[in-house]
Amino acid sequence: MLSGAVLDVAPALLGMRLRTAFGGDVPEVVLDEVEAYAGADDPASHAYRGRTPRNGSMFGPAGTLYVYRSYGLHWCANIVTGPEGLPHAGLLRGGRPSRGEGIMAARRSRTTELADGPGKLTQALGIDGSLDGTSVVDGPVRLLPATGERGAVHTTVRIGITKAADLPWRFVARR
């Protein structure tokens, strides 16, 4: 379910839940925006030019979390789609709060727009660089099956990149 071609797995993440559990708080979002990044085949990927100290976790097995710092301030999280050695991953760009809104609002210092962006999602869930390389199958950040119906999946170009900016590899299920 988690492993497979990144262009299949990335949209399949929509509707699934992402949950963290530290310090008694258990915030959770339903993923509604994901982008695909295809390693050496994708000029926009952090792994386009091979393995570096930063992107090493992308070479792990499917279900590995790749967390990096963005613009010096924010954290962004990806789920690796594998197989091991192939640095393909889905960037988690947004989710709808489904549990633990209180702690998310506290972390975000606001009550709306809690997780509708890649940096907002990690901030709301408390995901930072210390979780890079952990597993979403049995680690502190868990990917759980979808519960309800998922809306139609909309496909667009990816956001905020300059290279390979024409590829329609962004998937949204937001109403």
In this complex, which beta carbon is closest to DNA, that of residue 80 or of residue 173? 80
Kindly state the smallest distance separating residue 23's Cβ from DNA, in Å.
Answer: 21
Please state, in angstroms and rounded to a whole number, the distance separating the CA atoms of residues 130 and 50.
22
Question: Taking the complex as a whole, how short is the minimal distance between the CB of residue 155 and DNA, in angstroms?
Answer: 17
Are 104 and 25 within 8 A, CB to CB?
A: no
The smaller minimum CB distance to DNA, of residues 16 and 79, is found at: 79
Residue whose CB is less far from DNA, 9 or 91? 91
DSSP secondary-structure letter at 59? G
- Nearest in space to 96 (alpha carbons), one of 148, 139, 134: 148
Using alpha carbons, select from 108, 124, 130, 146 the residue that is nearest to residue 20.
Answer: 124
Six-digit token string for 117:
């962006």
Paired with 61 in beta bridges are: none
Q: Which of 17, 54, 21, 20 is nearest to 32 (CA)?
A: 17
Shortest spacing between CB 26 and DNA, in angstroms: 22
CB of 116 to DNA, least distance (A): 8
- Chain contacts with DNA (rule: CB under 7 A): 35, 37, 44-47, 49, 52-55, 66, 69-74, 76, 78, 89, 91, 108, 110, 113, 117-121, 158-163
Which is nearest to 39 in space by CA: 91, 74, 92, 75?
91
Radius of gyration in angstroms for the set of CA atoms belonging to the chain, rounded to a whole number: 15
Q: Using the minimum distance from each CB to DNA, give the nearer residue, 16 or 76.
A: 76
Minimum CB distance to DNA, residue 68 (Å)? 7
Q: By C-beta, is 52 or 156 nearer to DNA? A: 52
